[in-house]
Chains A and B, each alone.
Chain A
Amino acid sequence: MTTFTFILIRQMPGNPFSIKVEQLMREQNLTVEEATNRAGALFDFDPNRPLLEQYTEYMGKLLRGDLGKSIISSEPVMNMLLRFLPWTLFSVGLGLLISFGLGILIGMLMAYWRGSLFDNVMTAFASVMYGIPDYVIALLLIIVAGVQLRILPFAQMLGGSTPGIEPGFRLDYILDLLFHAFLPVFTYVITSLGGWMLTMKSSTMSTLGEDYITVARARGLSQRRLLTAYIGRNAMLPLVTRLAISVGFIVGGAVIIETLYQYPGLGRNLATAILVRDYTVMQGIFLVIAISVVFSNILADLLFGLLDPRVRLGKEDAS
């Protein structure tokens, strides 16, 4: 992954480095060599050294947490990332948590009361929500709720927090954070909820047909115990594996959603960095995104292991 961004920036035709070199040559009448060195200083590497050496140096710095400096603002990329990350982590994490939880609950009830009005309404809702892109939902939310109906104080809800409120672990600040996070979180929830609901419904349906559910019923277990430990836990398993995939998807969508809501997270700053061609920042954000995807994969595996003993104990005595 890091290797990939490394190559992308240095070696691709029309890569930012050679563009910068050309630009410097054109604008400041420098020779190729001068321009190369100047650009090298900007990009924080020495273009005259062999590629492999550059690569090892880059990787070494990376391991020490040094991601270079922003081309535009000269601020260390690491600092910027640490500033952006909490916003995205908070909004995406909260959105995912809510939609996953709600999706499981509703999906299970849909399967439980299949054929009922509730099921039909929810299935229609889920299919519609599943089919509509997240930014379309976001725009419709702004247009319908913010502009046409004026239910939401839309203009005040943009951004990450209201300027002027002192950050700190105080109730008014936390409420303000939630107030501003409402739009992105709501969008994430609405767009991913449909998928969770439908998957959970079909998964629950197949679980309901399992013998052990009939046996558990025959044992006279309480409805609650039946729904949680017997139906819910087994039906959830296939969804957990999808959790990691959806993290990548939501983070991708966050680029647009955060831009729309002017939410100061990784996504909006990636968009900005791309527009102003700030390659070191791009590289840094990319790295964080890739790490988060890998991390969520590990997390999903752990969660799966927690829920399914067959995986936890390895396969040595599975029949």
Chain B
Amino acid sequence: MIGFATIATVPGLLIGMVCGLIPLGIALYYRQLRPGLLGWLACAFSGFACGFLGGVPMIVLTTAVVISYAYVNKQDPFTSRAALAEVNFEETRLELLLRLLAGLGNSVRAGLVALLRNKAGFIGFLGVLFFFLMSVFGPLLIPYDGRPHPDRRLPESRTLFQAPSAQFPLGLDWQGRDILSHVVHGGQGLILTAGLAGVLTTIIAVVLGALAALLGGVVDQVFSAFSNFILTIPQFPLLLVLASVLTFESNVALALLFALLSWPTLMRAVRAQVLSLRERDYVEAAIALDLGLWHITLREVLPNMISYIVVNMIFSIRVAMYSIVGLVFLGMVPLREPDWGVMIFVGRQQGALSNSISVWMVLAPVLAIALFQLSLVMFTRSLEEVFNPRLRSGL
């Protein structure tokens, strides 16, 4: 289908289980059995879902969590039993690594707690998780039904459309194919493309916005003028025209095009935020200490904006999904099955909207899109808390 699609595989499961041995081993060394086992499960699961892509990053996260349970900072006068004079403030590479990992692990744990606390956000998270599981593990259970089935025509019917039944829970489409299988298989490409588009938008916006605000002067003026220019053109029609003129074959290119058209809003927000953060005391202090541009951006400015950026990224993902489905829906990009947008487009062309038996071909993907978008909206509430240290501490 597309290059970066992932489907659960058995080798992936093996990779995950092997990866999981690392946090498990470290946990056994620290005598922390429970986090170790959980870490192993998490690694196995994410390896199962995404192979190396899922397993390897999960090693780092789970190991960090395991270490955060066991780690005691020897330099910290509050936790160290050693007298102040005996504390060795020089730390070895290993100790530095341990300290950083423990910090990461603590953040992950705090984030998980925050995730559970906001009810609406947690429901949203479950929704997003559901769609993720559906497109990754669904194909294992429900094989893709791609070929027409003229033999499935009911005796009294003139079309191959069928209303939901016990055998086909969401009915059959115009070629007599199982709609459920199309829903299960048709989301992944869309979600991944929209996700990529959102991430690219965010990267462009954050980099340009931060540069404009921190460098100022001509750079700022050029970027701002350019973003103003793009903002005057309504994005969606422009995307339509460009997508139809340029005719894309790859979803990556489509995601990139979307990102190139939609960065200005977030970029201006980032620029404004950085400018206002710059005024705050602690950043001014950092500037006065001459800590360097990148240090200031990475250590002082970014952590304060991360929640804002993540929320905006989710927003971009939503708009990207909206736009991509819209493009498909209007028939502006090459159609590739299985895809939710294509289902709506073809369904409309084949007259699925004319009666209540055939309507399922359109209703199913429409509901899927609506639920996914809704889950994302609700999920952002939790994300705000997860990434905002002030909200997280509950003050």
Do any CB atoms of chain A lie under 8 A from CB atoms of chain B in the complex? yes
- Would you call A205 an interface residue if the criterion is a C-beta within 8 Å of the partner chain's C-beta atoms? no
- B residues less than 8 Å from A139 (CB atoms): 344, 353, 362-363, 366
A271 contacts B240, C-beta separation under 8 Å:
yes
Closest A residue to B243 by beta carbon equals A274
- A residues less than 8 Å from B245 (CB atoms): 8, 12, 14-16
B330 contacts A128, C-beta separation under 8 Å:
no
| Main SS at interface, chain B | helix
Expressed in whole angstroms, the Cα–Cα distance for A119 and B329 within the complex equals 36
* Binary per-residue interface labels of chain B (275-300) against chain A in the complex, 1 for a CB within 8 Å, 0 otherwise: 00000000000000000000000000
B366 contacts A282, C-beta separation under 8 Å:
no
- Would you call B234 an interface residue if the criterion is a C-beta within 8 Å of the partner chain's C-beta atoms? yes
- A residues less than 8 Å from B325 (CB atoms): 133, 135
In the assembled complex, the CB of B249 is this many whole angstroms from the nearest CB of chain A, namely 13
- Would you call B85 an interface residue if the criterion is a C-beta within 8 Å of the partner chain's C-beta atoms? no
B329 contacts A274, C-beta separation under 8 Å:
no
Classify chain A's interface size.
35 or more
B247, B329, B376: the one within 8 Å of A135 (CB): B329
- B residues less than 8 Å from A136 (CB atoms): 366, 369-370, 373
- Would you call B393 an interface residue if the criterion is a C-beta within 8 Å of the partner chain's C-beta atoms? no
- Would you call B349 an interface residue if the criterion is a C-beta within 8 Å of the partner chain's C-beta atoms? no
- Would you call B326 an interface residue if the criterion is a C-beta within 8 Å of the partner chain's C-beta atoms? yes
- Would you call B378 an interface residue if the criterion is a C-beta within 8 Å of the partner chain's C-beta atoms? yes
A131 contacts B233, C-beta separation under 8 Å:
no
Closest B residue to A285 by beta carbon equals B237
- Would you call A106 an interface residue if the criterion is a C-beta within 8 Å of the partner chain's C-beta atoms? no
- B residues less than 8 Å from A285 (CB atoms): 237
- Would you call A169 an interface residue if the criterion is a C-beta within 8 Å of the partner chain's C-beta atoms? no
B366 contacts A255, C-beta separation under 8 Å:
no
Expressed in whole angstroms, the Cα–Cα distance for A274 and B236 within the complex equals 13
- Would you call B165 an interface residue if the criterion is a C-beta within 8 Å of the partner chain's C-beta atoms? no
B353 contacts A147, C-beta separation under 8 Å:
yes
In the assembled complex, the CB of B84 is this many whole angstroms from the nearest CB of chain A, namely 48
A128, A249, A286, A293: the one within 8 Å of B241 (CB): A286
Expressed in whole angstroms, the Cα–Cα distance for A131 and B318 within the complex equals 9
Q: In chain B, residues 342-395, which have Cβ atoms closer than 8 Å to a Cβ of chain A?
A: 344, 353-356, 359, 362-363, 366, 369-370, 373-374, 376-378
- B residues less than 8 Å from A116 (CB atoms): none
- Would you call B235 an interface residue if the criterion is a C-beta within 8 Å of the partner chain's C-beta atoms? yes
- Would you call B73 an interface residue if the criterion is a C-beta within 8 Å of the partner chain's C-beta atoms? no
Expressed in whole angstroms, the Cα–Cα distance for A147 and B179 within the complex equals 19
B235 contacts A252, C-beta separation under 8 Å:
yes
Q: Contacts A14-B246, A128-B374 given: A289-B234 contact, CB under 8 Å?
A: yes
B240 contacts A142, C-beta separation under 8 Å:
no
Residues of A in contact with B (beta carbons under 8 Å apart): 1, 4, 8, 12, 14-16, 127-128, 130-133, 135-136, 139-140, 142-143, 146-148, 248-249, 251-253, 255-256, 259, 267, 270-271, 274-275, 277, 282, 285-286, 289-290, 293-294
> Can you name 10 A-B residue pairings with CB atoms under 8 Å?
A4-B229, A131-B374, A131-B378, A132-B373, A133-B373, A140-B370, A143-B363, A249-B234, A270-B237, A275-B332
